[in-house]
Structure 1
């Protein structure tokens, strides 16, 4: 309910829950509370606003669905890439590469030294 999408993949939801359980236990602790609240408040933005102390957890869950990652920085866990909601707006014209070159934010690391001598 948090994303407003009704066609979310159950396997991805299970993987995300497991990732939150280990990588972000404080967010995982609010899952049952948010699920209960979603039975009364069904509009996504209203659900986030009604979450009270669980609002940060609600936003983290939404971010995870859109980015396909749980957590931030070097501690982030990639749960999905191809099926992340961020891919949907361009899915009619672009197909995301289905590989990660080195995990989250791999491009910020310095490039490795060349194995061959410079010419």
Structure 2
């Protein structure tokens, strides 16, 4: 009865259990490492954004801007890290100090410009594939905060309806 080749021994049961346990442990650890790396890149992006727009930024919006910008530019994450390191290494205190650098890498400058544009416009991308991240929290509304009410419509210029027809010349 115990001599069958297909019989399960205690050793093979123990070996299988340990293997299964290790596999579960490893797969359980990997998502946490990924989440921790994502949280770090979000924090790096928020800090860089705060430097570039010269004001505190919303962490939730920063994560959304980062995700949208990262999916549109293949080297975005690398450029964010490089920009943050450049700011730290050179001891730059204000975005104007960065913009005044004579030896700034054009790729990093393009990344910085895309980050600033995203925060001020509230969108990421070009009109054909633009992604709205924040309408009412776009920084372009900050200068007039308290004076002008942010419109509740967002269709863009002349979005009220079709363009009126040109007046016809009429003679009486």
Paired with 2:143 and 2:131, the residues of 1 have a C-alpha distance of 23
Cα separation, 2, equivalents of 1:49 and 1:30: 18
Partner of 2:112 in structure 1?
58
Separation in structure 2 between the aligned mates of residue 9 and residue 26 of structure 1, nearest angstrom:
24
Residue aligning to 2:132 = 78
1:47 aligns with 2:98: yes
**Counterparts of 2:111 and 2:152 in 1: how far apart (Å)?**
28
Does 2:57 align with 1:3? no
Q: d(CA) in 1 for partners of 2:99 and 2:133? A: 22
Counterpart for residue 87 of structure 2 = 38
Secondary structure in 2 matching 1:96: coil
- Return closer, same or farther for 1:24/1:100 CA change in 2, 3 Å cut-off: farther
Deviation at 1:47, TM superposition (A): 1.8
| TM superposition shift of 1:59 | 0.8
Cα distance in 2 between the residues matched to 1:19 and 1:61: 10
Q: Mind listing any 5+ residue stretches in structure 2 that lack a counterpart?
A: 1-50, 163-172
Structure with more of its chain in helix, by fraction: 2
TM-score, normalised with respect to structure 1 = 0.74
What displacement does 1:27 show? 3.8
Aligned mates of 2:157, 2:63 — CA distance in 1: 26
Structure of greater Rg: 2
Kindly report structure 1 stretches of 4+ aligned residues shifted beyond 6 Å: none
Give the Å deviation of 1:28. Answer: 4.2
Give a deviation string over 1:8-32, Cα, whole Å, max 9, x none. 1111111000101123334444111
Q: What residue ranges of structure 1 are gaps of 5+ in the alignment?
A: 112-119
Superposed displacement of residue 98, structure 1: 4.3
Give the TM-score of the pair, scaled to structure 2.
Answer: 0.54
